[in-house]
Amino acid sequence: MRRIFVGSFLFLLACSGRSYYVDFPDQDLPLPGMMELERRVQSCRSGEEPWHADPRRVAHMALLQQINIPVHETVFRSSDYEFHKYSSENPQWGSYVVTGWRDRAGRAHRCRVRMRAYENIWYAVQVSRYMAMDYVDERDVPGGTPPEVGH
């Protein structure tokens, strides 16, 4: 009987919350000139900056420069990023990298970095992001206090 009560409470709690999305404006990044692209190609080939050949790492660097990322997310882990190469089914998307994390308040952050290739390297051209948060109304929670999220 207790399991049914707890399960019903959790179900009602999940249904009572509403998700809100904050869509931030897209940020177009300054495009590198031909001399800068050639410099990056050479530094990648020489081994000085091999990360230019990894679209996930390039996206990570672009995010660090463009938005305020939590400290725990500043360490690069390739597994946290998904690379999607250009597809003729969705040509308007081009190639892009997506990543996301949850902050201490429980909000989900998702980012997409549009990428372009030049010879054997990648560079970022645009950052898009949104944040999703769940709102729980105190009146919908027995006892009147929403649960602590992310602590």
Spatial distance between the Cα atoms of 43 and 33, rounded to a whole number of angstroms: 15
| Residue 115 half-sphere exposure toward CB, CA atoms < 13 A | 31
Contacts of 17 (CB under 8 A, 6+ apart): 134, 135, 136, 137, 140
Tokens of 66: 């463009």
* Those residues with Cβ within 8 angstroms of residue 94's Cβ, 6 or more apart along the chain or in another chain: 86, 114, 115, 116
* Owner of token pair 């399960």: 7
pLDDT tens digits along 90-132: 787 789 999 998 888 888 889 999 999 999 999 999 999 999 8
pLDDT per residue as tens digits for the range 16-67? 457 788 899 999 999 999 999 999 999 999 999 999 999 999 999 999 888 8
